[in-house]
Amino acid sequence: MISNITVPILIGSDNELTYSDKINKEIERFNKQITSHNIFCELFIVDSKNLLTIIESHKSDNSIFCYVVIEKSNHISHSITTYTNKLIISSNTSEKTVIGNIKLPYKVLPSVICEVILKVACIKYPKLSNIVNEHRKRNHEKQRISYIVQKYNTMDNVEEMRDKIDEDNYQFVRAGKVRNLFKTADDNTLMMSATNRLSAFDRNICEIPFKGCVLNNISLWWFENTKDIVPNHVICKVNSNDILVRKCTPFPIEFVMRGYMTGSSKTSIWGNYNKGIRNYCGHKLSDGMVKNQQLERNILTPTSKGKTDELTSEKEIIEKNIMTQSQWDTCSTYTYQLFEYGQKVAKENGLILVDTKYEFGYDSNGNIMLIDEIHTPDSSRYWFEHSYLERFLSNLEPEMIDKEIIRKWIKNNYDPYDKTINIEVSKEMQELVMKRYIQLYEIITRQPLEMC
């Protein structure tokens, strides 16, 4: 057990008070993550009258191993060296340096100040190293995500650019909720075209710029990175929105994987649990769970695929001869493996893959394949990991980056299941969803979205 560490933050004027408070909050986040290792920052407003008093009152305090000084000039840093031989981490605009100081730019990012404090703490307390390195890694990931989020915050009046398909080579077959299907000259090959249509609550809601491009490209990325887990129907990319796929007969089942007690639709696990249902798609659920809580284990909760999605179970699917036991077992195994891999990749990128759905089909030789899409913001729920626990403990909704954003907006403004009501989505909401979809693509793939 490491003793508590106190780091007084000395500020030159009230102008630095808000900034210093941000530093305190960064350290508090670290404290919450590591309950057995605490770093407490004490905040002092320092001027020429109380500087000496503060230093003298803490001279015998062994928990203090350094001071942080935030000021425009270098006055306080110079004064402290007269009264103490402890390390000074100084953030100011002065070009002068003080022996024993760690010099940082004035009002550098609070997270940078905190990293320096934690690194110094590791010198005195080596046992902190692993904890600090994990905190540092998480913080850098948070900064990377923040950069991507900011990157699209000024996008206005965007227009989708995509290659037009040659209609002489493709024959329209049907339109799905989001994708259009076309025949090709090869009977065993189809073309899938991802549109900008947004579907929710079993109906088309509106169009989202770039949505088709994001769905197509993020699916391609996941298909490529999971092909060693399960074979898929992808042949090649045609352009930003279109891909050529092997013709398969789909199973009329959506394989829905869930890792958390959440959701807003009538088939969601939280919606049913909140109504008192404890046997959900063949799984027994414990009493006392709350919204957005992580489940004891990942569970497969299938739904029937049709005009409306209906909850079902393995037993019901087999009894109704919708699938054979062998087909179910194969798809079920693939589903758990895909979800575990998806959660791993999401975590590596600062996200939580909360739940998702998969679709499978079989080709002319009976080979089972993953079809349609995988781990897109349409089919999956993603939360930001860095803020999940704090928001959950505060009874706040997680920070989300998927279609749930617009689902919640619709439920707050309309009765989504009343088909007599026309749902009109504001331009601001459409643009927000657009930005979140693009952000998710770039966070997961670590590359910019390209139109081609």
Helix, strand, coil percentages (3-state) for the chain, rounded to 5, are: 35, 25, 40
The C-alpha atoms of residue 192 and residue 179 are separated, in whole angstroms, by 6
Q: In which band, very low, low, confident or very high, does the pLDDT at 161 lie, cut at 50, 70 and 90? A: very low
Instruction: State residue 33's pLDDT score.
Output: 61
Mean pLDDT of 20-40: 71
Neighbour-count burial of 251, counting CB atoms closer than 10 A to its CB (0-12 exposed, 13-18 middle, 19+ buried): buried
Residues 225-249, mean pLDDT to the nearest whole number: 95
Confirm if 5 and 118 have CB atoms less than 8 A apart. no
Task: Provide the residue type at 212 as one letter.
Answer: G
Nearest to 91 by CA among 103, 79, 77, 81: 103
240 or 30: which carries more pLDDT confidence?
Answer: 240
pLDDT higher for 18 or 275? 275
Ranges 27-36, 360-369, 390-399, 420-429: which has the least confidence: 27-36
For residue 132, the model assigns a pLDDT of 75
* pLDDT of 288 above 90: yes
Q: What mean pLDDT comes out for the span 296-313?
A: 91
pLDDT at 348 over 70: yes
159, pLDDT greater than 50: no
DSSP string covering 206-255: EE-TTHHHHHHHHHHHHHHHHTTTS-B-EEEE-SSSEEEEE--EE-SEEE
What average pLDDT does the segment 21-50 reach? Answer: 70
pLDDT score recorded for residue 107: 81
Six token digits for residue 287: 């009493």
What 388-391 contacts at long range (C-beta under 8 Å, 24+ apart), as own/partner pairs, is 388/352, 389/32, 390/29, 390/32
- For 373, the token pair is 């899409």
Residue 202: per-residue pLDDT: 81
Q: Which of 125-134, 274-283, 411-420 has the highest mean pLDDT?
A: 274-283
CB 70 within 8 A of CB 13: no
Instruction: Write down the domain spans for the chain.
Output: 5-151, 171-445
- Determine the CATH number of domain 5-151: 3.40.50.1970
pLDDT on residue 321: 96
DSSP assignment of 254-272, as one string? EEEEEEEE---STT-HHHH
DSSP 3-state of 194: strand
Q: Is the pLDDT of residue 143 over 80?
A: no
Those residues with Cβ within 8 angstroms of residue 3's Cβ, 6 or more apart along the chain or in another chain: 62, 63
The better pLDDT of the pair 58, 180 is held by: 180
Query: What is the rounded CA–CA span in Å between residue 22 and residue 330?
Result: 51
Q: Quick one: pLDDT at residue 160? A: 43
DSSP 164: P
Q: Is the pTM of this model over 0.85?
A: no
Taking CA 425 as the corner, what is the angle to CA 422 and CA 431, rounded to the nearest 5 degrees? 160
Q: What is the mean pLDDT of the chain?
A: 86
User: Is the pLDDT assigned to residue 316 strictly greater than 90?
Assistant: yes
Indicate whether 142 pLDDT > 50.
yes
Fold of 171-445: D-amino Acid Aminotransferase; Chain A, domain 1 (3.30.470)
| Mean pLDDT on 1-19 | 76
3-state DSSP assignment of residue 146: helix
pLDDT band at 365 (very low <50, low <70, confident <90, very high): very high
Percentage of residues in the chain with pLDDT exceeding 70? 89
Residue 397: CB atoms within 10 Å: 13
CB-based burial of residue 237 (10 Å sphere; 0-12 exposed, 13-18 middle, 19+ buried)?
A: middle
Q: Is 22 exposed, middle or buried (0-12, 13-18, 19+ CB in 10 A)?
A: middle
Q: Does the pLDDT of residue 25 top 90, yes or no?
A: no
Q: State the pLDDT at residue 186.
A: 87
pLDDT band for position 21 (cuts 50, 70, 90): confident
Tokens at 275, concatenated: 């109504």
What's the rounded mean pLDDT across residues 242-270? 94
Higher-pLDDT residue of 383, 81: 383
**pLDDT cut 90: percent of the chain above it:** 48
What does the pLDDT look like over 90-129, one tens digit per residue?
888 777 666 668 888 888 878 788 888 888 888 777 777 8
